[in-house]
Chains A and B, each alone.
Chain A
Amino acid sequence: QSALTQTASVSGSPGQSITFSCTGSNSDIGSYDLVSWYQQHPGKAPRLIIHEDSKRPSGVSDRFSASKSGNTASLTISGLQAEDEADYYCCSYSGGGGPLVLFGGGTKVTVL
């Protein structure tokens, strides 16, 4: 089972909105409402920012939002801030016979 496919890198200026995607298959993203997203700053552990496709845990800024269409999930960061510069990973449960959990390869967000 291949990893989920993510946009490699995205950049934006402070205050802008950016959106990047995570593509899977009918065995994972397309079949379950179980996409989660994680933010990872250099040298730090990943941090949960979205679960169950679009739910935000308490304490996570409402500048982070997510959606899904078919086999592709997307994460939007609105009002981009310097602190948003990080790597972002999508994750999905998979019933495809491979690993039960798949991660994307990560998207590097750069704030210009």
Chain B
Amino acid sequence: QVQVQESGPGLVKPSETLSLTCTVSSDSFTSGSFYWSWVRQPAGKGLEWIGRIYASGNTNYNPSLKSRVTMSVDTSKKRFSLKLNSVTAADTAVYYCARVVAAPVYFDNWGQGTLVTVSS
């Protein structure tokens, strides 16, 4: 059973950097059949894809966030991370990490989500 779990600060000040980590309990972490994504959801709104990272380190980001997003991976610890800089109140959301089955592109395992609030 694959488990993914987000962790990180729940409160970030405006203009600072949001940093989250997702820890994965699965031997599939380094399999090329999967990649790892971040998705966010503002309160009462829909889902927004932030980006993806393969265990190899290859990344793709949502163009709307690309200038502010960095994803990284640590295969030795089965973790991947998200950094979003220059945050504003509009970045307040529940952030989910998820495993994605690569070729058919579907999200088969999700973390429980972590609320990040941007406020001074």
Which candidate, B8-16, B25-33, B59-67, is the interface stretch facing chain A?
Answer: B59-67
Q: A35 vs B27: C-alpha distance in the bound complex, in angstroms?
A: 26
Q: How many residues of A contact B (CB 8 A)?
A: 25
Instruction: Pick the residue among A1, A36, A104 that contacts B107 (CB under 8 A).
Output: A36
User: Majority SS of interface residues in chain B?
Assistant: strand
Whether A100 contacts B46 in the complex (CB less than 8 A), given A47-B110, A48-B106, comes out as no
Kindly identify, within residues 97 to 120 of chain B, every residue whose CB is under 8 Å from any CB belonging to chain A: 101, 104-108, 110-113
Query: Does A106 sit within 8 A of B, measured CB to CB?
Result: yes
The verdict on A15 contacting chain B, using a C-beta distance below 8 Å, is no
Are A103's CB and B106's CB within 8 A? no
Q: Are A93 and B105 in contact (CB under 8 A)?
A: yes
> Judging by beta carbons under 8 Å apart, are B104 and A46 in contact?
no
Within the assembled complex, what's the spacing in Å between the Cα atoms of A47 and B110?
A: 7
CB atoms of B108 and A34 under 8 A apart? no
Out of A34, A45, A57, name the residue touching B113 (CB < 8 Å).
A45
Chain B residue at smallest Cβ distance from A53: B104
Given A48-B108, A106-B47, 10 other A-B residues pairs in contact with their CB atoms under 8 A: A36-B107, A47-B110, A48-B106, A51-B101, A51-B104, A51-B108, A100-B60, A101-B49, A103-B49, A104-B46
